[in-house]
Every structure is written in structure tokens, then in C-alpha cells.
Structure 1
Amino acid sequence: MTAAPAIGIPMNDYVLVLVSAALVNHLILHRAPVSRLRIHVLGASTALLTLLGLPLGKLLYDQVWMTLGLQDMQLFLFLPLLALLAWTLAYALKRVQPTWPLEGLPLWLLCNSLVLGFLLQVTQTNDRWLAVWGWSLIGGLGFWLALALFDDLRQRSDHPDIPSALRGLPIELVGAGVMAMAFSGFNGLFTQ
């Protein structure tokens, strides 16, 4: 018996396909360009949702859900609270500032896990109310800053000095990694 002839595909082609599928052609990471005003509206509304949601969620957790023995259901109880706050916040912003681009804002706020993660962290601690307000304010403003920085990174990624193979999503991922390393430098800055 003779063995079937091997298909002669060099290993470099596999690596090229893998890198192309992972970085260049990844549809989830591609998004339509968003206006700068929309980025700031999303950042401000997330900061407001965090500022309203954390103290209210901690209050409900400590005063209602703990007394009823529902602390194990906190994830399922925080989601409707955040949904109610997100829709109310979008409605209030539309009433206050009707010229802002608010289409789909409640869905963006609900998909953001920042507030939910903060709520789950805050309920596990015995922090005072001032610390909860501080967490919510700093967390919301930090998210807004990160949004603005990543938007600037996206706008600068079309510079002509960047090689054509790295333009677009690959250089954005490299820049995001560098920014993540820079942000991780703040990790040990404030110790308790």
C-alpha cells in the first residue's frame, strides 16, 4: 500500500491564517466609527449610573435583601435595578438635553458590566457610605477617561507612519495592551 501524498501547505500559511482570523478579520472587534460627542455621552451616563447605582444597590442590599435572606440572589436582584436605572437615566437625559445622541443608550449601559461588578464588590465589604460614594465617583470617571483614551487611540491609528499591515485593528490592540500595562502601573500606588 502506498501512503496518500501529503498536502504541501507550509506552516507559515497556518500562522498567517491564524493571525489574520484573530486580529484582522475579527468581526466582534470591528465597530462603526462613533462621534466624539456620543463617546462622552456614554462616559457621562455611565458615570451617572455608577454614582446612582452603587449607593442605591448597597442600601437595598443592606436594608432589604439581607433582612429577607435574599443575599444569595444579589446578582438577579441587581440586574433589574440597573435596568430600571439605565432606562430612567436615558429618559431623564433626553428630557434635559434633547440634542445629545442617545439612541440605544440604555442597551449600552446594560451591557456595561462596570456597575454590576462594582455592586458585587461593594456588597462584600463593610465600607462606609462615603467610601461607597467615592468608589462610584472614581469608578465612573475612570471609565469615562478610559473611553476617551481608547477613542483617541482609535482616531490616531490611521496615521500614515504606521505600516499598512498594522493599520486599523492590529495597532489598536497593540495600543490597548500598552495602555493596559500603563494602567496596571497604578495598581500598587494606593495601598491601605
Structure 2
Amino acid sequence: MNDYVLTLLSAALVSHVLLPPSHLPGFGLACAVTTALGVCGGRLIEHWLIAPWQLEDLRLFLLLPWLAVLAWAVPLLLARLRPGMISQGLGTPILGNALVLGLALPAMAEHTPWLATLGWGIGAGLGFWLALTLFADLQQRTEHEQLPRALRGLPIALIGAGIMAMACSGLNGLFTQ
């Protein structure tokens, strides 16, 4: 679980630093949809292409084009479905997120059931959206004059990420098998 928490927090921190706060709601939704579709599509690629042709060594190279298509298509789909939400220019940060790839590879390798894979993808996407929302709230709360100048910007974001990592690590072992 620690690997997943660290992946979530690092991706959220990198995305939070690279994107303006006005893009975060659209980015969070796009990442949630991309994660769910990426994990489920990765399972389909595993089932129809990798396992029958015994291409286990090429798993990464077969999954990356699928994730690139999703990173391009999901913001376009969201722009049509929710015109008021900012979704332009989100393809590159979504493609850069290791979250989708980090979740899709273990799901493909462990051969979990379809419903569990779908739940895992949706849960991870919603958790990532929550982490982005918390980081956006942190950024909004730290734009005060009372905060020392040396802590403004990235230093306070790193402190907030550390506190969130400690809070998430408290959940370690909660859902053991």
C-alpha cells in the first residue's frame, strides 16, 4: 500500500506544481477517467493480446500507446461533455502521470477479477482526484500574507505532501487480505 500512496502523492504533487489551480478540477476528473479506463483497457490488452501471444516482456510497450490515446481522447471527451470545465492542455500532464501506468501494470500481472479491476481503477482515480483537491485547497489557504516568505510556494506544498503521506500511511494495513 505504501507504493500506491507514494505514487499518488508524487503524481499529485508534480501535477499540482505544473498546473494552475483553475485547471485542477478538470485535471482531476480527467485523471480519474483515464485511470479507470487505463486499468480496464490494460486488462483487455493482457487478455486478448499479451497472454495468447506470450508477449509478457513487451507489456510496457503495448500499454503505453493505449495510455497515450487515453491522454489525448479523455480531455476532448470532457470538453464535449462539460463545456464549462477547463480541459484544454491537459493531455501532456495526464500522459506524464505515472499513476495510470503504475496501477495498470500490477493489475495486469496479478490477474485480478474484472469487477475488482474496475473497482480498483475507479477507486484510485477518485482517490487521486481527492488528493488533487486537497492540494488545491492547501495552495489556496497558503496564499496569505501571514505565511513567511520562505515557506510560500513549493516548500509549503512539500510540507503538506509530507503531512498527507503520514496521514495516508496510517491507513497501511487497514485492508489486508
Partner SS, residue 167 of structure 2: helix
1:167–1:89 distance in 2 versus 1, CA, 3 Å: closer
Which of 127, 130, 134 in structure 2 is aligned with 1:145?
130
TM-score (normalizing by structure 1): 0.78
Give the letter for the 2:20 counterpart: V
**Unaligned regions of 5+ residues in structure 2, if any?**
1-13
Shift of 1:33: 6.8
Q: 1:130 aligns with which of 100, 110, 115?
A: 115
- Secondary structure of 1:189's aligned partner: coil
Is residue 165 of structure 2 the alignment partner of residue 180 of structure 1?
A: yes
Return the alpha-carbon distance in structure 2 between the equivalents of residues 70 and 111 of structure 1.
25
Pair 1:47 & 2:32 matched? yes
CA–CA distance in structure 2, aligned partners of residues 65 and 32 of structure 1: 35
Q: What is the match of residue 19 of structure 1?
A: none
Q: Deviations over 1:5-34 (max 9, x none)?
A: xxxxxxxxxxxxxxxxxxxxxxx9995772
Structure 1 residue runs of 4 or more that deviate by more than 4 Å after TM superposition: 28-33
Deviation, 1:177, is 0.8
1:90 deviation in Å?
A: 1.9
Aligned pair partner of 1:62 in 29, 37, 47: 47
Partner deviation per Cα, 1:26-46 (whole Å, 9 max, x = no partner): xx999577234x211111111
More RCO (CA 8 Å, sep 6+): 2
Matches within 5 A, 1:3-14: none
- Structure 2 length-normalised TM: 0.84
Aligned residue for 2:155?
Answer: 170
Q: 1:35 to 1:166 in 2, by over 3 A?
A: closer
1:123 partner SS? helix
8 A contact 2:36–2:122 mirrored in 1: yes
CA contact (8 A) 2:46 2:108 kept: yes
User: What residue number does 2:142 align with?
Assistant: 157
Tell me the equivalent position of 1:35: 21
Corresponding residue of 1:114: 99
AA at the equivalent of 1:71: E
Retained in 2: the 8 A contact 1:58–1:122?
yes
Measured after TM superposition, the shift of residue 101 of structure 1 is 1.5
Count of aligned residue pairs for this structure pair = 164
Seen in structure 2, the aligned counterparts of structure 1 residues 30 and 81 have a Cα distance that, compared at 3 Å, is: closer
- Partner of residue 14, structure 1: none
Residue type of the alignment partner of 2:43? K
**Cα gap change, 1:43 to 1:33, in 2 (>3 Å):** closer
In 2, are the aligned partners of 1:29 and 1:169 still within 8 Å (CA)? no
Percent of matched pairs sharing the same residue: 46
Question: 1:83, 1:50 → 2: CA distance?
Answer: 12
- Structure 1: state its 5+ residue gaps: 1-27
Larger radius of gyration: 1
Q: Which amino acid aligns with 2:31?
A: T
Query: Once the 2 structures are TM-superposed, how far is the Cα of residue 145 of structure 1 from its aligned partner?
Result: 0.4
